[in-house]
Structure 1
Amino acid sequence: MITYKGYTADIQVDAEAEILFGRVIDIKDVVTFKAKTVEEACQEFHKSIDDYLAFCEELGEEPDKL
């Protein structure tokens, strides 16, 4: 698991597809990402959180954190 800005993601390996895929686990909304390397997975996770927070701000809503 990795964390960023107070959010946590669980990362799984799909050996058949040769990718890593992750899901943010401590929010009610569904935020996912995928990557080919661990470094890329961390970058994609950060980007997903930043995009999610910007989207919530744009809507004028609080993020749905558990």
Structure 2
Amino acid sequence: MKLLEHKGYYGSIEASVEDGVLYGKLEFIAALVNYEGETVQALKAAFEEAVDDYLATCEAKGYAPELPCKGSFNVRVGHDLHLAAAVKAKELGISLNDFVRNAISTATPV
């Protein structure tokens, strides 16, 4: 799935065949922020306006806007994979957290 990006925020791109519109929402934050447009260019402009409006609203109300992804998350991998990763991390002399961080950064370079 392709995502839109503006000022560090990401948005989805969906289509409603019935309504003949493109639409989306900001991803990776709890606040519900929607946008729509009839063309790709209109959707992109609506997305950027939605991000700007979200940031302006947060500033006007005096609270910090949510950052997409906090930097920590829980992953349920099952006992066997958890144990294998813990053993491998110990063998490498690193923490399990560093082992997982290295695996993710190898798969998804920033």
TM-score (norm 2): 0.58
Question: 2:5 is matched by which residue type in structure 1?
Answer: T
Give the % identical residues: 32
Separation of aligned partners in 2, 1:7 and 1:30? 13
**Moved >4 Å (runs of 4+):** none
- Which structure has more relative contact order (CA 8 Å, sep 6+)? It is 1
Separation of aligned partners in 2, 1:50 and 1:43? 11
Separation of aligned partners in 2, 1:11 and 1:32? 11
**Paired residue secondary structure (1:41):** helix
Residue pairs, 1:2-41, within 5 angstroms: 2-41=4-43
Structure with the bigger percentage of strand: 1
Q: Structure 2: give runs of 5+ residues left out of the alignment.
A: 70-110
Alpha-carbon RMSD across the aligned residues, in angstroms, is 0.8
Instruction: Count residues in correspondence.
Output: 66
TM-score (norm 1): 0.94
Structure with the bigger percentage of helix: 2
CA displacement at 1:48 relative to structure 2: 0.4
